[in-house]
Structure 1
Amino acid sequence: MDNAMREINLPDRCGHYFWNDSMMTNRPSAQAMRRIGCTVLAALILPVAKPALADDGRDINAFPAPITLPKNTPTDRVVARAYRTPQQICGKATCTLIRLDIYSLRGNQWNWFVEGPRAGTELKGLDVQVLVNGEPQRKFSGGTLVELSSPLEIQLLRNKYEMANSVAASNQMQFGLFSAGPGDSIARYIHLNTSVTWIEESCSVPSQTVVLPSTRAGSLTGIGTTAGERSFQIQINNCPKGYSKILYRLTPEGGTIENAPGVLPLSADSTAKGVKIKVTDNAGAAAAFDTSTAVDDYNKDTGGSFSIPMRVSYVQTEANITPGTVNGAMSVLMEYQ
């Protein structure tokens, strides 16, 4: 990618959209889409940097692509997220986690088995943590069992330490995750093996709200049918000049659903069944999640602000529908080359 460096927009510079709506009822209700912070999708699992733990070939590189971030990122801000489903971790819909080890770098010294949940990294200016069922996890073992029923999440967070202009990680292990398997435990290791460049300026993606109409179950007539469509625009503002190319990436909260292009996973507080939220481009084609798309009108000599027209609707995903609320979330991540 021509020495491309990718930026994950933060604070007020990154759009994170939530959809939550009371659906399939007789009373009007709103589906809200709002930004809650900056996220970046990346892979999560643990690298083996210590001979005491054998590499079983199941390691996952948490953030494989180079990252570019604004220097004014506030401390404790989440700048990147990665997800792995229980199916990817243990081959089942729910995993029984029996142990979590955390490795932290502080003062050029790797420490084994820190309590966590945050661990220092070789990426100067960034910490890392693991979330299970939405909760940051501390080290556990010795009879503690944790049931993983939703995608495992890994977060990179801005820390208070001074950052170099460009920093890289050397594939050190950050977490060791073990789940119960047939006759033995299943090990997964999370590595960081990427680079970070801190920049002075970036685009901003403001918050916005999209209201979808309340919809009856009868409006959806089969798997794949949609209802309640609304148009909206992703606003990308105040992009600085000087880059050869600026791109955006749409990232669903909870990870991409296999064989369901443009469909967002339901958030934990959803109560409806058999229906989700679908995002498309202005022509009706399913949104390409986790794919970099160039902002075609960007000019490196002038910079500027841009609008990306999109659509959102309900989509039936199962044969039977249970009325209730439908919640989903999506982030807009900016990348710079």
Structure 2
Amino acid sequence: MKEFELIGRYFQRPAPSALLGVGDDAAIVRPTAGHDLHMSVDMLVEGRHFFADVDPRALGHKTLAVNLSDMAAMGARPRWALLSIALPRAEEAWVSAFAEGFFALADKYGVELIGGDTTGGPLTLSVTILGEAPSGQALRRSGARIGDDIWVSGELGLGALAVRQRLGWLNVNDAELLASARHKLEYPEPRLALGAALLPLAHAAADVSDGLMADLGHILAASGVAGEVWAEALPSHGKLEARRGEFLACLAAGGDDYELVFTAPADKRQQIERAAAGVGCRVTRIGRTLAGQGGALLDAAGQIVKLDKEGYDHFG
């Protein structure tokens, strides 16, 4: 397929909430009155962020999901997306499956594709997401306060387990566990409903993409506080509990979780648990913020657990 045939067949769709969508030199949007516009961009590169043989439908889903996770961390509602793709070859079957995965997730959350770009080259995918939240109410990394609880959504470690098993760094023979891990890696579910529910409750938030300790570290640094995380409290898949020590690096620093880590005042605990239950999301209190700098992972005896890395390094 040629470039504009590819765009017209698979990516040009109506965008009724935009003033102008795909097909011109630039899109035009108008945010809802009384809301701030949020923008984020994420890039996925073959061999760096996904395996070459990944199902293109799963890749379409994940390409958008990682951006929606950024909106969730801000408590923002995603509205519009721009998609840029570099393709080694414009294979119709691959592009069709990718578009199916991308638009299935876009339709689920009411996201409209309003533009982008295509070119030939090593397989690279980039989405710019635009969302909105009520003016002045967004969750930021810089809002944590001394004495806050530290929470995390969902389960940790499955995405990292899938990657490390594939690379031969781990030996896991449980087919059911590996299937759950692969699904978590390829079909992450952005916590948009939870992010919105946390707007009146949390002080700060970030999405867990590179690893819990690394992404919590961004909150602590931006807020000028320290934090302690209790290793025994980290939520994991039930089948990992008996081997928690073996998989602790996956839980605490593995990345590819796309959960939310957030801080909130201690007197909001019951409200947070009710809000999370209301949107069908598990949340776990895993630590607290303190005066000082940096984050520490502590074992059951209160001793610091040393990790080789706190999270994924894109240049490591």
Fold similarity call, TM over 0.5: no
The structure with more strand, counted as a fraction of residues = 1
- TM-score normalised to the size of structure 1? 0.28
The structure with more helix, counted as a fraction of residues = 2
- TM-score normalised to the size of structure 2? 0.30
